[in-house]
Structure 1
């Protein structure tokens, strides 16, 4: 069983979008029973909040099913619970390592490492307002992540 946790600052835009996009990819391949997919925040600002409405709309335009997500904060025990912990940008990585401790098992990665653009980061659409572009970038990373997982 592959367990993947996507992480961003607030868990209402990027990480939850990656969760839903990756889950949709897995579901379409009939592989839902082989994965546990979730998302979390490095901050406490949005805990308990649903996906941000403009981000939800961007996913719906892509045909990605959106569930009843509530933001939660990353915790140290997540390191042992998941095979991969996937961040979106440098700030996420900094706080992920601060919360999780040393990455002795090399589980912490950027999502775009799995794309054709491994040096890119995924900017926070809360600030850029580019929700559709963010969803497209996340989808590219998720496609590559699934391909790598299945290889």
Structure 2
């Protein structure tokens, strides 16, 4: 099983969107038993909050099912619990390093690395108000991530 943790500032927009988008993709492909997917925040501002309503709307418009998410904070212990810890921007990466410490197993990455855009970051729609664009970029990153991981899964299936 591949364990993935998506991370952003508050865990109410980008990271939870990535969690639900990736989960939806693997559910559709009927490979959900091969993954554990979760999300977390680098800050404490939104702990316990649900998905931000404009992000929830954008996800639903894209056909992505929404669960009963509540924001949580990234913990140092998450490093040993997950195979990949994926952030959205430089600020996330900075605070991820502060919380997690060193990355000796090279688990920490940016989502758009997997979409062939290693220098691209996903802007926070809380500020840009571009929720549909954010969902589109995250979807592109999640599809790329799954394609990247397909070769590493037992059986090597690219379903």
In the alignment, the residues of structure 2 paired with residue 19 and residue 118 of structure 1 have an alpha-carbon distance, to the nearest angstrom, of 20
Aligned to 1:81: 81
TM-score by length of 2: 0.94
Task: Give 1:52 deviation, angstroms.
Answer: 0.1
* 1:72-112: CA deviation from partner (whole Å, max 9, x where unpaired): 00000000000000000000000001100100000000000
TM-score (norm 1): 0.99
Aligned partner of 2:24 in structure 1 is 24
- The equivalent of 2:61 in structure 1 is 61
Shift of 1:119: 1.2
Q: 1: distance between equivalents of 2:149 and 2:69?
A: 24
Moved over 2 A (4+): none
**Alpha-carbon offset, residue 118 of structure 1:** 2.1
Task: Give the corresponding residue for 2:117.
Answer: 117
SS at match of 2:141: helix
Aligned residues between the structures = 151
1:49 shift after superposition: 0.1
Query: Unaligned 5+ residue runs, structure 2?
Result: 152-159
